[in-house]
Amino acid sequence: MTISLALATYNEEENIKACIESCRGLVDEIVVVDGTSTDKTADTAKSLGAKVIIASNPKMFHINKQKAIDETRGDWVLQLDADERVTPELAKEIEKVITMNNQELEEYQKKLPNRELFMRHQKLVTPDSAGSGVYNAFFIPRLNFFLGKYLRYGGVYPDGVIRLFKRGKAHLPCKDVHEIMEVEGRTGWLQNSLKHIDSPNFKRYLERNSRYVDRLTDELKSQRSNLKSTTQISQLIQFIDWMIIKPVMWFLMTTFRHKGILDGWQGIVFSFFSALRFPRAYICFVTRRF
């Protein structure tokens, strides 16, 4: 069985080497679709043995991810983001599962130590993703790095993503930035986690968080347009909901119900600033109207 690594990049000079190096000995082919980076991402990838394809940098980044997938030739595809790392334990697990038959995979899934947690997460993110028949794809849990620590609580873990699949058996619809891969057949889980270095510093975290603010601003626009009337009372209710109720409830839920406090001060800071995306979105919505 051969494995191809598929990456879509844009200005990932700081990440691309560590990502590719973490897959050494695991993958047989590296395909990178680069969105015309202005740094040395493409050159670095080439120097590491990757097949690099230069493309435009579409707002829907999944377009380039799918292009990279389409260019692979391995039996299996490992699709990663440049800020993700494969651990030695995960690499061994991948090598193991791709050689299993369907019956062996069925037994393997039943014995996963975190199976119950994984199934709860899967039902939340995509209720219909389990599929039936042959196992053709796998969710991989992710440990998200935030201000010097990998978070395990606060609703952050397992943050599962479909990253390993048989070539030709999964694709990205390229309709929404938060979409899940569509899989032909059954989707299982791996036990070991990817390391996701998405927020190595607070500046990077705020940049990523701003993407969610933009999404919520669009949600507010949709809510307002669907209101039968935009009376002062309805606007006041929306103001209280987004400026007070939503952020307070989110902070309490992630900090205490989902035990974010067990991640120490990083968990509390993460919950607090995650909650602030609601009032930030409301302020953006109001100011952009004028």
Q: Are residues 119 and 31 in the same domain?
A: yes
- Residues 107-123 pLDDT 10s: 999 999 999 999 998 88
Q: Are residues 219 and 184 in the same domain?
A: no
Q: Are residues 214 and 181 in the same domain?
A: no
Residue 160: which residues within 8 A CB-CB, separation 6 or more? 118, 121, 122, 125, 139, 140, 141, 142, 189
Least confident span in 16-20, 39-43, 44-48, 196-200: 196-200
Q: Are residues 189 and 248 in the same domain?
A: no
pTM of the model: 0.87
- Averaged pLDDT, 87-111: 97
Chain-wide mean pLDDT for the chain?
A: 91
> Which region holds residue 183: left if phi is over 0, alpha if psi is between -120 and 50, else beta?
beta
Q: Are residues 85 and 177 in the same domain?
A: yes
Answer with the one of 144, 170, 199 that is the final residue of a domain.
199
Tokens encoding 56: 């435009």
Q: How many domains does the chain have?
A: 2
Nearest-angstrom CA–CA distance, 113 and 110: 9
Predicted local distance difference test score (pLDDT) of residue 83: 96
Answer with the one of 169, 199, 229 that is the final residue of a domain.
199
Q: Are residues 214 and 271 in the same domain?
A: yes
Answer with the one of 140, 173, 199 that is the final residue of a domain.
199
223/80: higher pLDDT: 80
Q: How confident is the model at residue 175 (pLDDT cuts 50, 70, 90)?
A: confident
Q: Are residues 99 and 185 in the same domain?
A: yes
Max avg pLDDT among 34-38, 224-228, 283-287: 34-38
**Are 4 and 28 contacting, i.e. CB atoms less than 8 angstroms apart?**
yes
Q: Are residues 14 and 36 in the same domain?
A: yes
Predicted local distance difference test score (pLDDT) of residue 290: 46
Q: Could you tell me how far CA 62 lies from the centroid of its own chain?
A: 12
Q: Are residues 69 and 165 in the same domain?
A: yes
- Averaged pLDDT, 249-261: 96
CATH number at residue 8: 3.90.550.10
- Averaged pLDDT, 77-104: 98
Q: Are residues 181 and 210 in the same domain?
A: no
Predicted local distance difference test score (pLDDT) of residue 131: 62
pLDDT cut 70: percent of the chain above it:
94
Q: Which domain holds residue 271?
A: 202-288
- Averaged pLDDT, 19-30: 98
Q: Are residues 94 and 147 in the same domain?
A: yes
Q: Are residues 60 and 184 in the same domain?
A: yes
φ, ψ of residue 270 in degrees (nearest 5)? -60, -45
DSSP state of 263: G
Q: How confident is the model at residue 289 (pLDDT cuts 50, 70, 90)?
A: low
H or E element: which one contains 97? helix 88-97
